[in-house]
Amino acid sequence: MPRTVAFSLPTDTTQFTALQLQPKILLSISFSALARWLREHLVSFPDLIRRHGYSLVILGANIRYEQPLGFFDCDELHVEAALRILRHGKRVKLDVTFHGGEVRGATVGILFCPVHIDDALSLGASPQALSDALLARFQPDEIDSSAGARPVRDLLRHLEGSAEQLAHAEGPPFVIHRHMCEVADQWAFLEVPALTGGAREALAMENGGQAPLLTEGLRHSLRSFDMELFRPYFWFQEGTVETTAYRWDDHLTFVHRLLSKLPGEKVHGTIIEQF
């Protein structure tokens, strides 16, 4: 049976919106669960980087809200997480469940690409499968030869064929300051829901009169959040969020693209929110 880590956290008001658990909080706690799993079953996160020369870069993440769970529904969150190796050590998958009492409120999946640290000072790195020494520490049932799903790519293919566009806008530029960064002065992926959530609510406020379905992005709970990341933002880099809202099978769906505010507008990530 794959090894897990389990822990509980007392609930507080910052973990929830008026509707549900904050997606940013779910990603943040999940990343903490990764560090707990590494320390308990492999090596600590600092030692993974410092002694073994590896780190883990986020390729994508998904959140599934399974049952209604609000602030007044529980006194603590129970978190359980497991880690798997995919593609012969070229990918790592974290799966996390969140319970409040008897309610399974949400699940989170995060897909990582292992990278080898090329520069200890800047933490510059390049993709590389985990070493044999690290792979040997995983149990057979924690190793999977599959590549892992890419839900954003699949969802986009379905959207393009059957969805009705409701509204589109590009938001004002934002700047990656250090409060949005991690130790290597690159943006932290858990900031993504805040960027896309602001873009979604601005689009709904601006266009809700012409497309009433957009107000579901303000009044209703999020059902799922899927993101795929392609390149990092760095400290002081400027970006923007391009957002398109769709009616898809009578449900509201938002597609966000995170862009560089530079000529050519490179795409840093694509995020899909479904209501």
Region for residue 185 given its phi and psi (left: phi exceeds 0; alpha: psi -120 to 50; beta: otherwise):
left
Tokens found for residue 219: 């009044």
Q: What is the pTM of this model?
A: 0.93
Cβ-based burial of 73 (10 A; exposed 0-12, middle 13-18, buried ≥19):
middle
pLDDT in tens, the chain (275 residues): 899 999 999 999 999 999 999 999 999 999 999 999 999 999 999 999 999 999 999 999 999 999 999 999 999 999 999 999 999 999 999 999 999 999 999 999 999 999 998 877 767 788 999 999 999 999 999 999 877 778 899 899 888 778 999 999 999 999 999 999 999 888 999 999 999 999 999 999 999 888 899 988 888 999 999 999 999 999 999 999 999 999 998 899 999 999 997 776 699 999 999 99
Q: 131 CB contacts (<8 Å, ≥6 apart)?
A: 52, 54, 89
pLDDT, tens digit (0-9, with 9 covering 90-100), for 158-170 = 887 789 999 999 9
Distance CA 128, CA 52 (A): 12
Among residues 273, 270, 229, 266, which one has the least CA distance to residue 248? 273
Mind listing the domains of the chain with CATH numbers? 4-149 (3.10.129.10), 152-274 (3.10.129.10)
Per-residue confidence (pLDDT) for residue 116, from 0 to 100: 94
For 24, half-sphere exposure in the C-beta direction (CA atoms, 13 angstrom radius) is 15
Phi–psi pair at 224, nearest 5 degrees:
-155, 155
Other C-beta atoms lying within 10 Å of the C-beta of residue 139: 12
